[in-house]
Each structure stands twice: as C-alpha cells, then as structure tokens.
Amino acid sequence: MKKNLFGISMITMACLYGILVIVAIAVCFACGFPIIYALVGGIIVLLIQFALSPILTDLTMRWLYQADFNCDMPAYLKEFIQGICNEHNMKYPRIGYIQDGAPNAFTYGHTKNNARIVLTKGIFDLLSEDEVKAVVAHEMGHAVHYDMLFMTVAQLVPLILYAIYDTLTSNIDDDDNSKVAAVGYIAYVLYIICQYIILWLSRTREYYADSFSAEKLKNPNILASALVKIGYGLSATSTRVAKHSVAAKNALGIFDSRTSKSLIVTSYNNGEVSKENIKNAMKWEMWNIWAKWYELNSTHPLISRRLLALSNLSKQYGLEPYIEFDLKREESFVDDFIVELIIKYLPLLAVFVSLGLFIFFEINNLSMTLAFGIWGLLVVLAALVPFKKARPNKNYKETTVSELLGEVKVSGVRAIPCVIEGEIIGRGNPGCILNEDFVIRDNTGIVFLDYNQPLFIVNKLFAIFKSQEYFGKKVTIKGWYRRSPVPYIEVYTMTVDGKVKKCFTYGFISFLYLLFMMISILLIFIGLYE
C-alpha cells in the first residue's frame, strides 16, 4: 500500500511541476527572461519554505497555543510510539501537549525523523487507551509516508502560479502587455486547477494514514470509534475559523485543520456511542448536496467516507464492520440546494448587475447619484436575503446536539434556530489564546460554538481576557445551528450564572442594513431630481 501511495504521489508531483514548467517557459518567452531565472527562483522559494515552516510552527505552538513539548506521556503511549519507530527506522517524534478539553491531534515537520505530534487534553479525556493509540498511529502514518514533505513541495506550485498571475496582471497599460497578461490569466486558471489536485492528494493521503493506523492496531474499528468521538462531519469551514489554525498552514491533523475545532460526539455516554444516532447524524453527509461540494474543497474526506473505508477494511481483518450504511434517501434535496445556492450568491449577482448599471448610466450620460442609489439598494436587498435566511429570529426550539445532527435541511445558508444547554469545555481552536470560539458539551455530545461580535478587535480582546472565565461553566446557548459542512451553532445569546450575554448583535446589524437602505433610497430621490 505504501508503494501505491508513493507512485500516486510521484505521478501527482510530475503533473504539478509539469504545469509549472510549462507556465515558466511561457513567462520567459512572453517577458524575454532566461528560463534559468524562473527555475532558480522557484528552487530558492522552495528551500526557504521547507527550512522555515516547522520552525515557525514551533513558535506559533508555544506562543499562541501554549503547547508543552516537555510533558511526560503515559507509559502505554510511549511504548506504542517507540514500537512504531523501531519498526520503521525513525526517530522518536517530539510530542506536544495542549491543555484544552476540545479533542484534536496533528503532526508537522520536514520528514519522519523530525516529526512533531501535538495532542490536546481532550484526546486523553475522551478516548480509550487503544483509541488514543489509533489516533497517534494515524499521525505517525503521515510521518512514515513523508506526507509533510510531499504536501510542502506540492503546495509550492500554486503559490508560484499565483505569484506569476499577480505579477503579470498588475500592470496592464497598453497593447504590448496583452501577451504577458494572457499568460498571467492562464497561470491563474492553472493555479485553481492545481489547488484541487493538491486537495485530492491530501484526501488520498488521509485514507492511507487511516489504513496505517488500522494496520498497527490490527483493528480498523478502533480508529473508526475514535473518529466518531473526536469529530463528526469535519471537512471545511469559514476563513474566520481557519485564521489562527496552525494545521491549516503546516500541519496534518486527524481532521481538516480548518474544522478541527468543530467537534461532535453523538450520544456519547461513558465511552459508548449510539450507532443508530451516528447513522442519523450521517444523513446530512449522505444526502445533502452541499456536503459533496465541501468535500471537494477540503483537505480531508467526509467522515462518512472514512468510516465506510475503515468498515470495509475491517472485513480484511475478519472483523464485523464498525457500522453499516443502510440508510436510503427518502426525498431529493436538489431543489433545496438550488434555492440556497441562488440565495448564497445573490449579493455577488447584485454586484455584477450594478456594474452593468453603471456602464449604462455613463454611456447615456445619466445621473451617477441615481446609479449609486440603485446600486446601494440592490446590494443591500441582495445581502439581506441570505442574512435573514441564515438567522431566522423566531421559533427557538430547545434541543440537543444529537437531534441537531440529524437535521438534513440545514446548510451555511439555511439555519435552524435552537436553544441548547451544556458545559463549555474549551476553545474552538484548542489552546489558541486568540480564538474566541467555544466547544460545548451536553449529555448527547459536543459541538462547536461560533462567538461573533461585529468588530474584530472586540472578538480578540474577549478571547484573551474573558473567554477562560467560561471554561467549565454550565451555559444556555440561544442561536442558529448551521453546517458548512462543520456542524456549529452561531451564538445569539449565552446565559451563564443567571446573566444573559448577547454575543451576536442582531439588532445592530439589522439597523445597519436599514440605514444603508435609507441612504440608498435618499440617493435615488436626489438623482431623480438632479
């Protein structure tokens, strides 16, 4: 299997760097530069990135995540790790520990001989000893397979292609630059293609890391159980969440690094997980069309696909599959997807319509004040539709994590108003002192809470000075449950110790929409009488 992965990796690298060489040659011909300049420049960038990335990640781990690399690990885990090291002729990895209740694990470094594996407190709190071994084995699989090396080298290609696009299209002043600009736009298209190639390669390597873990434990079901307990349905999230994620840049996590903070346990009680509730929770991934789109844009496969692969692998070990996927689709969700897709991109459509409006008004020498007024009204109304759809301000229903996970008709656009009670167990991004989000646990599971204030600085000040006060507190959360595909609750209000804290300023934002709408209407009236 390792040989198959190496072959896949080399073919992928050949494709990526073949694309880069072709673009480099085109740039040299278009700009008149010797080809050697492009090649030398690319090599220098690669060497710098390769040399510095683990060092920078080390610093980030210590400063932002307060990771302890001198913490003593349990004897059973040290013995297990040493056994893998002996078998694969690798040095014992540096083990980092983050004091955070949200379970997470990831690895980074250059090669298998300087790998760092970081584990959170939640991993040890939530998982059995064998499940901890399975998670660590998955991370060591990344090191043994040289995933850090291959992904670092692969990611250089889109970086260079984007730099070429940005450089060649920044000064398009005359016809003489048309050939150069054309090469730049071609580089941008190839940049997007290469990004998807790398995402596919990353998802493929996750399957191999899962298989490595199954091999070391001689039981794929152990990792399957750990995956369910750590986080269900983690594959993509917003830019705001990914901003402070170390793993998003340099590390390979047990889940998509951008979603490692959205943690779900379905009906978890005293180490046991309800299989029926897992199936119920997986309906969204199996039926909702948004799930397929999000996986395409993720570094990790959907957890349902990983569980299916592990369940099929268990048969090779003569074991009963961890879970059988026998759910049948009861209805089509295509119509819901199309409607939500239109709603999601209404603001963008309004912008394009407005551009045409400005061109029309300028050609016909009409009032630009009127044009600005119509433009503002179009954009505000278009933005107001997804805002109201994603945050319905009525019918807040008391529910549980398990019940929310069974909802299929939910997405980043369509939200479900809810009220949930539980205990805050850690930060959304485990250990990161700049992360203002939370993880809440009720008696059926744990889920990510999206804490959001209008001003960025307010979020960060809360994260640094106030967020720890809520750890271990019993809270009541009122907000909107969504999946993108991360299952999470955007917090409207948070009640703790009898006090209600308004986290999302719904009224203030609604007021801003109204204000801009009135300004736009005023501009329209002024434009009509100019």
- Per residue in 109-126, pLDDT (tens digit) is 888 898 999 998 888 988
Backbone phi, psi, residue 406, to 5° = -80, -5
Distance CA 84, CA 86 (A): 5
DSSP annotation of 177 reads: G
- For domain 350-407+409-530, give its CATH number from 3.30.70.100, 3.90.1150.10, 2.40.50.200, 3.40.50.300: 2.40.50.200
Q: Is the pTM of this model over 0.95?
A: no
The 10s digit of each residue's pLDDT in 61-88 is 888 888 899 888 999 999 999 999 999 9
d(CA 423, CA 492): 17
Question: For the chain, what are the domain ranges?
Answer: 2-316, 350-407+409-530
Encoding tokens for residue 121? 């407190």
The predicted structure's pLDDT at residue 240: 33
Tell me the pLDDT tens digit for each residue of 25-55.
Answer: 888 877 776 656 666 766 777 677 777 778 8
> What torsion, rounded to 10 degrees, do the Cα atoms 274, 447, 61, 127 define?
-20
Low-confidence ranges of the chain (pLDDT < 50): 232-250, 257-271
Concerning whether 272 is annotated as a catalytic residue, the answer is: no
pLDDT value of position 517: 94
Helix (H, G, I), strand (E, B) or coil at 479: strand
- Would you state the pLDDT for residue 265? 42
Quote the pLDDT of residue 239: 31
Cβ within 8 Å of residue 304, ≥6 positions away = 233, 282, 285, 286, 325
Which residue is catalytic, options 139, 206, 340, 490? 139
pLDDT value at position 100?
80
Q: Residue 37: its pLDDT value, please?
A: 66
Amino acid 243: pLDDT: 34
What is the per-residue pLDDT across 405-427, written as a single tens digit (0 to 9) for each?
Answer: 888 899 989 999 999 999 998 88
Residue 247's pLDDT is what?
38
CA atoms within 13 A on the CB side of 165: 15
How far does CA 388 lie from the centroid of its chain? 24
The token pair at 297 is 């844009």
